[in-house]
A and B are shown apart, each in its own frame.
Chain A
Amino acid sequence: MANGTAVIAGKSFYEEGTTKSKSGIASWIFSTDHKRIGLLYLISIVSFFIIGVIIAELIRLELIAPGETIVDAETYNRLFTLHGVIMIFLFIIPGIPAVFGNFFLPIQIGAKDVAFPRLNLLSWWLYMTGAVLAITSLFLPGGPADTGWTFYVPYSVRTGSNVIFALLAAFILGFSSILTGLNFVTTVHRLRIKGMSFFKMPLNIWALYATAWIQVIATPIIGITLLLIIIERTFGVGIFDPTLGGDPVLYQHLFWIYSHPAVYVMILPAMGVVSEIIATFSRRTVFGYKMVAFSSLTIAFVGYLVWAHHMFTAGLSETAAVVFSLLTFIVAIPSAIKVFNWVATMYKGSIDPRTPFKWVMVFIFLFSIGGLTGLVLGSLATDVHLHDTYFVVAHFHFVMFGGAGTIFFAAMHYWFPKMFGKMYNEKIADIGVYMFLISFLTLYFPMFLLGYNGQPRRYFDYLPQFQTLHVISTIGAWMMLITITLVVWNLIHALRKGEKAPDNPWGGVTLEWQTSSPPPLENFEEMPNVPNEPYDFSHLTGIKDGSK
């Protein structure tokens, strides 16, 4: 530990911190304990997620009928921009790595903390600074940005709304992301417990490791791009605006060179969690462990080379379009491999489909739809028709929310007993999973049909023939609101009234299940045993694991 605190036997990290103040808010917001920082992120990220959900409900309500329903066009444009910025930069990009990565990466490799605990705390502060800046822009004259989360030039250079604030916020959030990435890469290289070679690491660590590299390498590009817009807006230097001699398509290139790899920052950590949960509840090793590990790295690498598939209609040369379309199809392969390996991991397993496993089953179904519809968008002929329509909106909600979002819930239910030392009501949690699946399909599936029938995205108003599908989608949004409320309420209720959780409620074999629930300050009272292989359940036969 950085400050050399001695571990007092039997105390959890809730009872013992790294700060001078023993309790109160200061013992949290100045704590360098990776677990407390993970929980700080959890509270912040879930709060922004809920704000994002509320905005989405307003958007869906507005779209229940053509024309103005509850807000005017200007407000609507600001709402969908805010929804995008909040969900992408404040929820889904930091999401799993910042919360569950922070909490479990050191524990799963048998370390006491991350390599740079103070830098880790700085990351959270930067995250909060960026978030506060974004929120401040709501209340300044000019109002929040109305450009969409992509900030496309020249519109973003010309609009009167507070684009600079939103850009600065995104810039600072970028630094938070880079520092977390740097921390994780170093931690994985330097702090693995003796005996844990790279190929003994849990697949969650592989996924976080691949993600961290993307964060370190790709994020600076968006930082530079956002700075260039600020320079252009403030000093009138022609970079992207053609009236000043710039090129708007250059902006799109720079934006997507970051933002496409960022898609993998969102989904790769989720894929890591999926491997953990399937192995634990199937009680067997992951099928094709090395293939799953390498596919994370392949996705991270090839993911850099597909950015222009967001720009097939922008006026790319035919050659560029062909190359990027081909590479886009290639990047689908490692994701497909993962899905096949996950299903194969269930083969001849001993499956106990508890709540986290059910979330993962929902994930596999929704993420497959998201991935397969991505093939439609990677194909040139169909993309020219579907680009910037609701088909794209449906596709990325299946991948991001159905994929990464679902696994945020899965991870929450999987690690909840370890993080808080409490059990939740599994019956209610299961009902939440079923409701989630139904609400999700009602909410997003109609959007595929809307898109194929030619409804463009970011539309305040729409043609009357689209109304039926919009109404179904809005009803789905209400169902989703009820579902999320139920799921969150069930967990909050468990925090207050839940039964005490055993140390290893699911019979997991990764190192976090060898310590107490919740863990002590430096994670382990005695050094954990590193298994011979990453998912070795052989010694677990007959263990008391709390499962019925």
Chain B
Amino acid sequence: MLYLEVTSHAEKVDSVMLYITVISLIFLIGITATMLYFVYKYNRKRNPEAKNIHGNFWLEFVWIVIPTILVLTMFYYGYVGYKDIKADPGEDALTVRAVAQMWKWEFVYENGKKSDTLYVPSGKPVRLLLVSLDVNHSLYIPAYRVKQDVVLGTTNKLIIYPEKTGDYDIACAEYCGLKHSMMYTKLRVVDENNFNDWYAKK
């Protein structure tokens, strides 16, 4: 599952990650290299007398403005990649109630069908309504790069857009006690016919 991009949202998150990482690396290498160069070049052995420089307005202005512009672009791409999973897909979405309790998941479908594995058809948006029976949990699908906390007393919503068929891990990401780390289940994406067969079965 390492770095595989199985949804277009995952691709988007990875591209935001790449954007921030590349800029960060340029800064990190730049800062470190400059520092090492100065320590070599202005070593007391080579440069016994320091020159007092109190500051430089334009230089300081530049290194405030450029990072500000860069972080604003990071903010923007991060926001764009977030907005698309927040929009409600409307009526053609499948709604599933995800019920969390210490330390298991149960998925309840509109026809009353219950399952401990999250079965979904590929190509159709799924609206997960997150309900907790005891403490806070968090539904996390690493392959999809999404998570949403399951907060006791409120119903949070998580929209996913399954594409490629297959099995993906679902983990609990909000610490919930003894078996928090064992609160794994699967997201099983199947094609629409298979899903309909499964869904109709009692």
On A, residues with C-beta under 8 Å from B are 73-74, 77, 146-148, 152, 154-155, 158-159, 241-243, 246-249, 282-285, 287-291, 313-315, 318, 321-322, 325-326, 329-330, 332-333, 336-337, 339-341, 343-344, 346-353, 361, 364-365, 368-369, 372-373, 375-376, 378-385, 387-389, 452-454, 456-463, 465, 537-538, 541
How far does the alpha carbon of A316 sit from the alpha carbon of B176 in the complex, in Å?
A: 20
List chain A residues, Cβ under 8 A from B43: 351-353
Q: Please determine whether B13 and A385 come into contact, CB atoms closer than 8 angstroms.
A: yes
Q: Decide: A348 near B31, CB < 8 A? Known: A385-B13, A453-B142, A459-B181.
A: no
Q: Please determine whether A289 and B42 come into contact, CB atoms closer than 8 angstroms.
A: no
Flag B158-171 by CB within 8 Å of A: 1 or 0 each.
00000000000101
Flag B16-30 by CB within 8 Å of A: 1 or 0 each.
110011001001100
Q: Decide: A381 near B82, CB < 8 A? Known: A365-B32, A454-B140.
A: yes
Q: Decide: A325 near B175, CB < 8 A? Known: A351-B39, A368-B28, A537-B50.
A: no
List chain A residues, Cβ under 8 A from B3: 452-453
Q: Please determine whether B177 and A146 come into contact, CB atoms closer than 8 angstroms.
A: yes
List chain B residues, Cβ under 8 A from A77: 177-178, 180
Query: Smallest distance from the beta carbon of A268 to chain B beta carbons, Å?
Result: 19
Q: Please determine whether A376 and B17 come into contact, CB atoms closer than 8 angstroms.
A: yes
Q: Please determine whether B1 and A346 come into contact, CB atoms closer than 8 angstroms.
A: no
Stretch of B65-73, B89-97, B110-118, B192-200 on the interface side = B65-73
Q: Decide: A382 near B173, CB < 8 A? Known: A73-B179, A340-B63.
A: no
Q: Please determine whether B39 and A155 come into contact, CB atoms closer than 8 angstroms.
A: no
Query: Smallest distance from the beta carbon of B128 to chain A beta carbons, Å?
Result: 13
Closest B residue by C-beta to A322: B79
Closest B residue by C-beta to A373: B24
Q: Please determine whether A378 and B31 come into contact, CB atoms closer than 8 angstroms.
A: no
Q: Decide: A249 near B151, CB < 8 A? Known: A364-B35, A461-B182.
A: yes
Query: Smallest distance from the beta carbon of B5 to chain A beta carbons, Å?
Result: 12
Query: Smallest distance from the beta carbon of A318 to chain B beta carbons, Å?
Result: 5
How far does the alpha carbon of A360 sit from the alpha carbon of B142 in the complex, in Å?
A: 37
Given contacts A287-B56, A381-B16, 10 further A-B contacts (CB under 8 A): A249-B154, A313-B148, A375-B24, A376-B20, A381-B13, A381-B82, A452-B3, A452-B17, A453-B142, A456-B140
Flag B21-64 by CB within 8 Å of A: 1 or 0 each.
10010011001101110110011100111111111100110011
Closest B residue by C-beta to A339: B31
Q: Decide: A325 near B79, CB < 8 A? Known: A313-B148, A348-B51.
A: yes
Q: Decide: A350 near B78, CB < 8 A? Known: A315-B149, A315-B154, A463-B169.
A: no
On B, residues with C-beta under 8 Å from A are 1-3, 12-13, 16-17, 20-21, 24, 27-28, 31-32, 34-36, 38-39, 42-44, 47-56, 59-60, 63-64, 67-68, 71-72, 74-75, 77-83, 85-86, 134-136, 138, 140, 142-143, 145-149, 151-154, 156, 169, 171-182, 184
How far does the alpha carbon of A318 sit from the alpha carbon of B86 in the complex, in Å?
A: 8
Main secondary structure of the interface of A (DSSP, over half): helix
How far does the alpha carbon of A456 sit from the alpha carbon of B142 in the complex, in Å?
A: 9
Q: Which of B75, B136, B142, B169 contacts A329, CB < 8 Å? A: B75
List chain A residues, Cβ under 8 A from B138: 313, 388
Q: Which 8 A-B pairs have the closest CB atoms?
A: A454-B142, A242-B153, A381-B81, A379-B78, A380-B82, A459-B181, A372-B24, A385-B145
Closest B residue by C-beta to A332: B71
Q: Please determine whether A284 and B39 come into contact, CB atoms closer than 8 angstroms.
A: no
Q: Please determine whether A384 and B146 come into contact, CB atoms closer than 8 angstroms.
A: yes
Q: Please determine whether B49 and A350 come into contact, CB atoms closer than 8 angstroms.
A: yes
How far does the alpha carbon of A248 sit from the alpha carbon of B174 in the complex, in Å?
A: 13
List chain A residues, Cβ under 8 A from B63: 336-337, 340
Q: Please determine whether A346 and B39 come into contact, CB atoms closer than 8 angstroms.
A: yes
How far does the alpha carbon of A341 sit from the alpha carbon of B20 in the complex, in Å?
A: 23
Q: Decide: A284 near B53, CB < 8 A? Known: A77-B178, A248-B136.
A: yes
Q: Which of A243, A315, A376, A463 contacts B21, CB < 8 Å? A: A376
